[in-house]
Amino acid sequence: MFIYLDNAATTRVCPEAAQAALEVMTEGFGNPSSRYALGSAAAERLERDRAVVAAALGCLSEEVVFTSCGTEGDNWAIRAAVEHGRRKGKHIVTTAIEHAAVLEPIRALEREGYEVTWLRPDREGRISPQAVEDALRPDTVLVSMMLVNNELGTLLPVREAGEAIRRSGCPALLHTDAVQGFLKVPFTPAELGADLLTVSGHKVRAPKGVGALYIRKGLKLKPLLLGGGQERGLRPGTEPTAQIAALAAACAAWLPHREAYAAHMRAVKDRFLALAEERLSGAVVLSRGDAPHICALSLPGYPSEMLVRELGDRGICVSSGSACHRGKPSHVFAATGRPKRELMGALRVSFSPDSTAEEAEALVSALEEIRRARIPAGR
């Protein structure tokens, strides 16, 4: 038995998704491009699954292209967006707290000669909408800003970025990495003003190996790969029908409970934070998280890596942040500019609709126990 409180890293596949994948792998396993009944049934199911994912996103079916993961969607969107704007300019706006799947392709573009404005957050991890507006220029071709930060759970001003782009008249496309926001916070791509939006299956109880990129209707984008004509030629490769069926089933299972799940995750998180503040003297809440499922806490003097290991030994899974290793805080925590002592003890705790208050209490008790057994470092 273990307690899994690292749902921003990945989630347990829900029974509906596992069942759908099994069905497609063992019964409806035809290639959607094959011209006999098994193939056409697979093609029809693929389109039904696309419609379910589109409904969960709040967009048209034709605006959804399946990918293999969030990283693929982010890389493709960024490369294709700058290619789209290549005659209009070489300026990109993004934030210092993006996931590596956005940071790295933008750093690569910077090395290739693009000019990048990196927006920095405040201590709470918030990006100011005014800073986005001020960063826009007539030659800005891409604004890429995540919807929910994966380590802090903060909401970024994507909607305001969309409005600012429209007001400024600059040619920028707006891309948002909504991997952590999908199904957890309410949005539609149109409401956000997004041209491109990335989601990933394994954060929402579908298996790893599937994601989707929303491409606004009418936007002509360069394909990710060249090959057969799948996904309207935009993302060729035989469709991973089992993973796609599982993603659709996970969305269909989540959608009717969206608000109840959000309220439940928020209640468990609030219970965890209240207990931590009450029972772990000196603990610092780094972020309460606007999104219902993520928060970050620090026990100054107790290095994150040690805490994650000790909790793991007790069967409790949490994270130290996406890249908190070799004595360095993650780039996200570091960007908040908090004192190093706080950052070095950072833990990210992330919940799912299955998480319980008892699990949150067990985590606080385990942290109490670890603190009693250990003398803090760097006093």
The residues of the shown chain that bind ligand PLP, judged by CB under 6 A, are: 69-71, 74, 99, 101, 146, 150, 177, 179-180, 200, 202, 211
| The one catalytic residue among 14, 59, 251, 324 | 324
Q: Which is nearer to ligand PLP, 287 or 367 (CB)?
A: 287
Cα–Cα dist 150/157, whole Å: 15
3 state DSSP class of 340: helix
Is 14 part of the annotated catalytic residue set? no
Instruction: Say which residues have a Cβ less than 8 Å from residue 228's Cβ, sequence separation at least 6.
Output: 33, 236, 237, 238
Q: How far is the CB of 325 from ligand PLP (least distance, A)?
A: 15
Beta strand extents in 120-220 (DSSP E only): 140-144, 173-177, 196-200, 211-215
Q: How far is the CB of 34 from ligand PLP (least distance, A)?
A: 28
Q: How far is the CB of 317 from ligand PLP (least distance, A)?
A: 15
Q: Which is nearer to ligand PLP, 69 or 316 (CB)?
A: 69
Q: Which is nearer to ligand PLP, 200 or 320 (CB)?
A: 200
Q: How far is the CB of 73 from ligand PLP (least distance, A)?
A: 8
Q: Which is nearer to ligand PLP, 89 or 105 (CB)?
A: 105
Task: Spell out the SS3 assignment of 209-222.
Answer: CCEEEEECCCCCCC
Instruction: Name the residue among 332, 352, 353 with its Cα closest to residue 151.
Output: 332
Tell how strand 173-177 and strand 196-200 pair up: parallel
Q: Which is nearer to ligand PLP, 71 or 241 (CB)?
A: 71
Give backbone dihedrals phi and psi of 159, rounded to 5 degrees, phi first. Answer: -60, -45
Spatial contact of 231 and 239, defined as CB atoms under 8 Å apart? yes
Which residue's Cβ lies closest to ligand PLP? 70
Instruction: Name the residue among 244, 247, 227, 249 with its Cα closest to residue 236.
Output: 227
Q: Which is nearer to ligand PLP, 101 or 367 (CB)?
A: 101
Q: Which residue has the tokens 């928020």?
A: 266
Cα–Cα dist 368/363, whole Å: 9
Q: How far is the CB of 213 from ligand PLP (least distance, A)?
A: 12
Cα–Cα dist 63/53, whole Å: 10
Q: How far is the CB of 12 from ligand PLP (least distance, A)?
A: 15
Catalytic machinery residues: 324
